Amino acid sequence: MSSQTAGASEHDTKQDTGGPIISVRDLRVKYGDREILHGVSLDIQPRETIAILGGSGSGKSTLLRTMVGLEKPASGTVSIHGTNLSRASASELDQVRKKIGLSFQGGALIGSMTVAENVALPLREHTNLAGSTIDVMVRIKLQQVGLIKFQHFMPSQLSGGMKKRAALARAMAMDPEILFFDEPSAGLDPIIAAGIDNLILNLKKALAVTIVVVTHELASAFLVADRIIVLDGGHIVADAPAEELKRSTHPRIQQFLNRVADSDTAEDVDYLSLFMEQLLKPSHMEGR
Ligand SMILES: Nc1ncnc2c1ncn2[C@@H]1O[C@H](COP(=O)(O)OP(=O)(O)O)[C@@H](O)[C@H]1O
Ligand SMILES: [Mg+2]
* The pLDDT of residue 66 is above 50: yes
Q: Whose CA is nearest to atom 16 of ligand 1?
A: 59
Q: Whose CA is nearest to atom 3 of ligand 1?
A: 31
Q: Is 234 in the pocket of ligand 1 (CB under 6 A)?
A: no
User: SS in 3 state form for the chain?
Assistant: CCCCCCCCHHHCCCCCCCCCCEEEEEEEEEECCEEEEEEEEEEECCCCEEEEECCCCCCHHHHHHHHCCCCCCCEEEEEECCEECCCCCHHHHHHHHHCEEEECCCCCCCCCCCHHHHHHHHHHHHCCCCHHHHHHHHHHHHHHCCCHHHCCCCHHHCCHHHHHHHHHHHHCCCCCCEEEEECCCCCCCHHHHHHHHHHHHHHHHHHCCEEEEEECCHHHHHHHCCEEEEEECCEEEEEEEHHHHHHCCCHHHHHHHHHHHHHCCHHHHHHHHHHHHHHHCHHHHCCC
**Residues whose beta carbons lie less than 5 angstroms from ion ligand 2:** 61
Q: Is 57 in the pocket of ligand 1 (CB under 6 A)?
A: yes
Average pLDDT, the chain: 84
What pLDDT score was predicted for residue 187?
Answer: 84
Rounded to an integer, the average pLDDT of 109-130 is: 93
> Residue 47 Cα, ligand 2 centroid: separation in angstroms?
23
Rounded to an integer, the average pLDDT of 114-137 is: 94
How confident is residue 158, by pLDDT bands cut at 50, 70 and 90?
Answer: very high
* The pLDDT of residue 278 is above 60: no
How confident is residue 17, by pLDDT bands cut at 50, 70 and 90?
Answer: low
Q: Is 54 in the pocket of ligand 1 (CB under 6 A)?
A: yes
Domain architecture of the chain: domains with CATH: 44-71+89-281 (3.40.50.300)
Backbone angles phi, psi at 242, to 5 degrees: -55, -45
How confident is residue 225, by pLDDT bands cut at 50, 70 and 90?
Answer: very high
* The pLDDT of residue 73 is above 70: yes
Q: Is 215 in the pocket of ligand 1 (CB under 6 A)?
A: no
Rounded to an integer, the average pLDDT of 175-185 is: 93
Q: Is 70 in the pocket of ligand 1 (CB under 6 A)?
A: no
Q: Whose CA is nearest to atom 24 of ligand 1?
A: 57
* The pLDDT of residue 195 is above 50: yes
Task: Report the distance separating Cα 270 and Cα 262, nearest Å.
Answer: 12
* The pLDDT of residue 230 is above 60: yes
Q: Whose CA is nearest to atom 2 of ligand 1?
A: 31
Q: Whose CA is nearest to atom 26 of ligand 1?
A: 57
Q: Is 61 in the pocket of ligand 1 (CB under 6 A)?
A: yes
Task: Select, from the ranges 7-16, 97-106, 251-260, the one with the highest average predicted confidence (pLDDT).
Answer: 97-106
> Residue 55 Cα, ligand 2 centroid: separation in angstroms?
9
What pLDDT score was predicted for residue 72?
Answer: 94
The sheet with strand 178-182 has its strands ordered as 100-103, 178-182, 210-215, 49-53, 227-232, 235-241
* The pLDDT of residue 84 is above 50: yes
Task: Select, from the ranges 36-50, 82-96, 262-276, the one with the highest average predicted confidence (pLDDT).
Answer: 36-50
Q: Whose CA is nearest to atom 13 of ligand 1?
A: 57
> Residue 182 Cα, ligand 2 centroid: separation in angstroms?
7
What is the DSSP pairing of strand 235-241 with strand 83-84? unpaired
